[in-house]
Amino acid sequence: MAFTDTAPTGPIDDSDAMGGVARDHLKSFVARIERLEEDKANVMADIKEVYAEVKSMGFDPKVMRKVISLRKIDRNERQEMEALLELYLGAVES
Amino acid sequence: MAFTDTAPTGPIDDSDAMGGVARDHLKSFVARIERLEEDKANVMADIKEVYAEVKSMGFDPKVMRKVISLRKIDRNERQEMEALLELYLGAVES
Amino acid sequence: MAFTDTAPTGPIDDSDAMGGVARDHLKSFVARIERLEEDKANVMADIKEVYAEVKSMGFDPKVMRKVISLRKIDRNERQEMEALLELYLGAVES
Amino acid sequence: MAFTDTAPTGPIDDSDAMGGVARDHLKSFVARIERLEEDKANVMADIKEVYAEVKSMGFDPKVMRKVISLRKIDRNERQEMEALLELYLGAVES
């Protein structure tokens, strides 16, 4: 088994089982990951809730998502992309 | 524009621009979403870090992800799925 | 097992195994799905190749992806979204 | 604009527009990509249909997806992962 050489496995009572120390490590890792995944789920629920508010205030949530995503891009690059986009679209639909 | 009828738009100084109250709402929504997206990015970085620790301790991170994902499923259902999986695989590879 | 009641299972030689007819169905389903997944992988490789050509001709592949995605949206709706986007961005960055 | 130096732009009638040759290239790229994306959508619809048949024959589509995904992995590696998975799960739930 992959981890027996490298992990501190502690006393092994059963040839097929994992040592006590390794087991404790594993349990602790699982607990930490599950707690973090819960945090992530909560944050994602909060984000969803804000978008619901956005909508209930009469704003367009889809456009709002675009605003958020565009703001991650540098303003100059954004304007250049916008110009190219119009040029391409104009050419394709001509 | 979609929101002008439903949102409290406040005094409008420019026919094409958004009213001051609507603008404040929008800014506040954007700030809240960007803060939450930062939280989400941080949590995801933490999760990634735990998996790096998992690996550095000699455990298999891929198997660990499976453990986390299987633990979300009820144990009975899990065992039933596992039995079906073996049956199908056995049949397909016979 | 879930399917034994509903699937034509044919003669069963082993109490734990799947009947011959069910096994043949399963094998045929697996073969069809694997063939289709291969087709899908080929199409995706072709798309990737076109974007590589797009780039080699001096066009911006990222903007090209946007063109493709925007063309799926009705032109009027697209222009309305574009107008809202500018309005929101303008308000947020004022 | 990014492509004007590298793409064969042909005669330009308007300083802001794209040259005729570049425009033709762009149109041809868009046509090819849109055709390929249609192919991809068709293949994906076919896959979905097979899974619907799988279900209608009394097999479990979720388990079927697992079978397909596991068959991509080498049999030895698969068995090793399975053994590790049981070991980890056993340790975590002890």
Model pLDDT, residue B8: 44
Residue of C nearest to B26 (CA): C92
How long a stretch of residues is chain B?
94
Residue A75 CA to residue D6 CA, distance in Å, equals 25
Q: CB of C10 within 8 Å of any CB in chain D?
A: no
Confidence class for position A63, pLDDT limits 50, 70, 90: very high
* Crossing angle of the two packed helices A20-56 and B61-71, in degrees rounded to 10: 60
C62, closest residue in chain A (CA to CA): A81
pLDDT, position C94: 84
Nearest residue of C to residue D30, measured between CA atoms: C68
Contacts of residue C16 in chain B, CB cutoff 8 Å?
Answer: 87
Whether residue A59 is predicted with pLDDT greater than 70 in this model: the reply is yes
Report pLDDT digits (tens) over D32-88. Answer: 999 999 999 999 999 999 999 999 999 999 999 999 999 999 889 999 999 999 999
Confidence band, pLDDT 50/70/90 cuts, at residue D15? very low
Q: Summarize pLDDT for B5-26 with one digit per residue, the tens.
A: 444 443 444 446 788 899 999 9
Chain D residues with CB under 8 Å of B92 CB are: 67, 71
Question: Residue A17 in contact with residue D90, Cβ under 8 Å?
Answer: yes
Residues of chain C with pLDDT under 50: 1-15
Residue in this structure with the two tokens 């992959």, named with its chain if needed: A2
Partners of residue A10 in chain B, C-beta under 8 Å: none
Q: Do C84 and B2 touch (CB under 8 A)?
A: yes
Is pLDDT above 70 for A9?
no
Is it the case that residue A10 has pLDDT exceeding 50? Answer: no
Task: Kindly state the tokens that stand for A69.
Answer: 């995503």
* Candidates C7, C57, C59; nearest CB to D57: C7
Q: Say how far apart CA D9 and CA D19 lie, in whole Å.
A: 4
Model confidence band, residue A13 (pLDDT cutoffs 50, 70, 90): very low
Q: Which long-range contacts (CB under 8 A, 24 or more apart) does A1-7 make?
A: A1/D83, A1/D84, A1/D87, A2/B58, A2/B59, A2/B60, A2/D84, A3/B57, A3/B58, A3/B59, A3/B60, A4/B58, A5/B58, A6/B57, A6/B58, A7/B57, A7/B58, A7/B59
- What is the pLDDT at residue B19? 87
Please state, rounded to an integer, the average pLDDT across all residues of chain A. 86
Looking at the predicted complex, does its ipTM rise above 0.85? no
Q: Please count the residue pairs, one from chain A and one from chain B, whose beta carbons lie less than 8 angstroms apart.
A: 92
Q: What is the pLDDT of residue B16?
A: 62
Rounded to the nearest integer, the mean pLDDT of chain B is 86
Residues of D in contact with B51 (CB under 8 A): none
Look at C85 and A71 and tell me if their CB atoms are within 8 Å.
no
> Which helix (H) or strand (E) is B45 found in, with range?
helix B20-56
Smallest CA–CA distance, residue D19 to chain B, in Å, is 34
Asked if C73 has any chain A CB less than 8 Å from its own CB, the reply is no
Cβ-Cβ contacts under 8 Å, A90 against chain D: 17-18
